[in-house]
A = this chain, B = another copy of it.
Amino acid sequence: MKLNIAVLPGDGIGPEVIEQAVKVLKAIAMEFNHIFTFETGLVGASAIEKTGDPLPEETITICEKADAVLFGAIGETKYDIDPNAEIRPEQGLLGIRKVLDLYTNIRPVIAYDDLLNKSSLKIKQIKDTNILIYRELTSGIYFGQKELSEDGNTASDICEYTRFEIERIAHRAFKAAQSRKRKLTLVDKANVLASSRLWRKVVQELAPTYPDVKVDYLYIDNAAMELIINPRQFDVILTENMFGDILSEEASVIVGSIGLLASASIGDKYAMFEPIHGAYTKAANKGIANPIASILSAAMLLDHFELHEEADLIREGVDKSLKLHITTPDLNTKYNHVTTTKVGDFIEDFINNPEETNLN
């Protein structure tokens, strides 16, 4: 298969982790006789620095021409601490999500057996957890009108949802549940928010179309607790943009490190793959960033094109690296941890020669 992949490394640790993901994709191409080409674009703080724009036109063109986008991370302390900044790195990420209409963000949360002891949670609490979070990604309070009064004393954001926006991601979440444990949990705050009540109504209306799926409803505050005390109760979680942001980062505590969580953002025409972690400027260029989230995002990219065997091989490589403790310090404080590049190298080697690496 020929795949033209747009690569947007972004800021902080973005470039170094994406480098590993690209390395792994190249190894897959070699091994399976695919032709993957890569074109790099600017985004985020680094794009602002070079062009004044967090999402230059050229980057959009690169993404639109590509079969898929591989995204690193954006953000920089300078902007975080300046509430007056009008141009911000995040606009690059939110902009590309919107322009490509990537309305379904899928975030798997899987408790790896080899990492159970890395979690802050008790092992018996998390063992066998396997959740798929479906987060709406192109609407809600992220994209509603924002206002700051002229005197600077009043600020507001609008959270708006339409039936259309809810239906299209809900159908996908229901279908995902059908191919899994057939349970869907809608997380909202319908006891307080009008937008949440529309979510609940639409999901209730769609539910009879998927009679084999059991539907549950949880308020976000309650879900934030249940996710920790009983994560195994969840199969597919469907939720709006902001709640999905919060729940999925919270869910990283189950997995043991946020450096392991991958995601796919799927529209009708385009698809983007990105780790859920941020740019961690402080960790940049030290070789300590965990590339697994990016590498697993690359695996999700392959899955998207039905290259499941290839994706599985990447995941096997990841599993092996975890089993052998060939990991960055976030997962391996006590013993000898390795660098970002070394983790990538190991998985590359594994792909080139699964049997041999097996004997290590």
- Contact residues of A with B, CB < 8 Å? 75, 79-81, 83-84, 88, 90, 94, 120-122, 125, 141-142, 144, 146-148, 152-164, 189-195, 197-198, 200-201, 204, 217, 220-222, 224-225, 228-229, 242, 245-250, 252-253, 258, 278
Contact B229 A120 (CB under 8 A): yes
Contact A194 B228 (CB under 8 A): no
Contacts of A252 in B (CB 8 A): 225
Contact A194 B147 (CB under 8 A): yes
Contacts of A121 in B (CB 8 A): 120-122, 228
> CA separation between A88 and B189, bound complex, in Å?
13
Contacts of A160 in B (CB 8 A): 154-156
Contact of A155 among B197, B229, B248 (CB under 8 A): B197
Contacts of A75 in B (CB 8 A): 191
Q: Write the nearest CB–CB distance from A222 to chain B, whole angstroms.
A: 6
Given A121-B121, A148-B198, A229-B120, A157 and B193 contact (CB-CB distance below 8 Å): yes
Identify the closest chain B residue to A194 (Cβ).
Answer: B146
> CA separation between A201 and B148, bound complex, in Å?
12
Identify the closest chain B residue to A248 (Cβ).
Answer: B221
Extra 4 A-B pairs, beta carbons < 8 Å, given A189-B245, A222-B249, A222-B278: A84-B197, A88-B191, A120-B121, A154-B160
Contacts of A90 in B (CB 8 A): 191-192
Identify the closest chain B residue to A241 (Cβ).
Answer: B192
Q: Write the nearest CB–CB distance from A146 to chain B, whole angstroms.
A: 4
Contact of A120 among B155, B198, B228 (CB under 8 A): B228
Q: Write the nearest CB–CB distance from A34 to chain B, whole angstroms.
A: 35
Given A122-B122, A161-B154, A190-B80, A228 and B204 contact (CB-CB distance below 8 Å): no
Contact of A192 among B142, B164, B247 (CB under 8 A): B142
Q: Which of A163, A192, A200 has the most CB of B within 10 A?
A: A192
Identify the closest chain B residue to A85 (Cβ).
Answer: B197
Q: Write the nearest CB–CB distance from A270 to chain B, whole angstroms.
A: 21
Given A190-B80, A201-B84, A250 and B224 contact (CB-CB distance below 8 Å): yes
Q: Write the nearest CB–CB distance from A231 to chain B, whole angstroms.
A: 9
> CA separation between A259 and B162, bound complex, in Å?
37
Contact of A79 among B161, B164, B191 (CB under 8 A): B191
Contact A195 B155 (CB under 8 A): yes
Contact of A224 among B122, B157, B224, B278 (CB under 8 A): B224
Q: Write the nearest CB–CB distance from A334 to chain B, whole angstroms.
A: 14
